Amino acid sequence: MENKVLIFGHKNPDTDSICSSMVHETLNRKIGWEAKAVRLGKINKETQYVLDYLKIEAPEFIEKIEEGQEVILVDHNEFNQSVEGIEKATIRMVTDHHKIANFETFEPLYFTAKPYGCTATILYEEFKQYGFSIEKKEAILMASAIISDTLLLKSPTTTRFDEQALYELEKIAEIDMKEYGLAMLKAGTDLNDFSVKELINIDSKEFDKEGTKFEIAQVNTVSIEDVLKREEQLKEVINKTIEEKGLSLFVLAITDILNSNSEIIALGSKTEVIKTAFGKELVDNKAFLEGVVSRKKQLLPNIDKNI
């Protein structure tokens, strides 16, 4: 059993989950608490771009934790998105920007959630509240997370706090965030050497609404058409996932990050939800959702309310 407190983001980690875990480790060190960033899954290509840029290693991978392990959750709170064994962990702290569900603790803890576009924006504010200076490395990690979660401040999840943080972090990092950010986002859309199975797992989250299980996966691209070349294989592997996990609905959002739209593929016994949620009829289990780029702000709340 690991003695140190472990810090980690959600399964299928995205750039915010990885970068915010690493920044959280630094924040803890400054406060005087020993804690170690780890990760619950493979580093995606977008995040790898950040790590390569900074010439740093990814946090260590862990698969499960032992009973009583002390942990800090970042960028998630729902147990079904967390590590195996989370139910019996001692959760000391949560820093998150999602809705709260499927979460409970035995004891009081530190829980900081804010309805921002990115976890890293909350961490940026914590550094400021404590009066800690931010090093260049942490500035780039936080900026990368904000750029990733807000698609360079274009997603509807973006708040003025994310804008403010990115503006300040750009000054510390001394790099052109637009140029860096586009290169980073583009690195993440290179889907060619992913199998279809890997593709639907790049950024996927399971939800549970009173026993009805559903999953929303998202891939970013600069060409929806390009991803849809593998439409039939994608449907096949999604149907297999539905069967294996006992899901009522699986939605894959293929998001065009340049034009801020998404094409979705929806399969499962509850696909009629899409009509009620977005006012769009599925054709061939697909629908084009104009202006939809955010799972958290657009896909999830609408599906969650109607399923």
Asked if 80 interacts with a second copy (CB under 8 A), we say no
Asked if 70 interacts with a second copy (CB under 8 A), we say no
Asked if 109 interacts with a second copy (CB under 8 A), we say yes
Asked if 296 interacts with a second copy (CB under 8 A), we say yes
Selected range binding a second copy among 96-104, 144-152, 253-261, 265-273, rule: CB under 8 A: 96-104
Residue 69 to residue 71: CA distance in whole angstroms? 6
Asked if 244 interacts with a second copy (CB under 8 A), we say no
- The distance of closest approach from Cβ of residue 24 to a second copy in the complex, given in angstroms and rounded to an integer, is 16
Residues that bind a second copy (rule: CB under 8 A) add up to a total of 25
Site string for a second copy, 118-137 (x = CB under 8 A): -----------x--------
- The distance of closest approach from Cβ of residue 26 to a second copy in the complex, given in angstroms and rounded to an integer, is 20
Asked if 100 interacts with a second copy (CB under 8 A), we say yes
Which residue lies nearer to a second copy by CB, 106 or 232?
Answer: 106
Interface residue with a second copy, options 104, 179, 232, 244 (CB under 8 A):
104
- The distance of closest approach from Cβ of residue 153 to a second copy in the complex, given in angstroms and rounded to an integer, is 17
Asked if 211 interacts with a second copy (CB under 8 A), we say no
Selected range binding a second copy among 38-46, 189-197, 240-248, 297-305, rule: CB under 8 A: 297-305
Give me Rg for the CA atoms of the chain.
19
Q: Which residues bind a second copy (CB under 8 A)?
A: 97-116, 129, 296, 301, 304-305
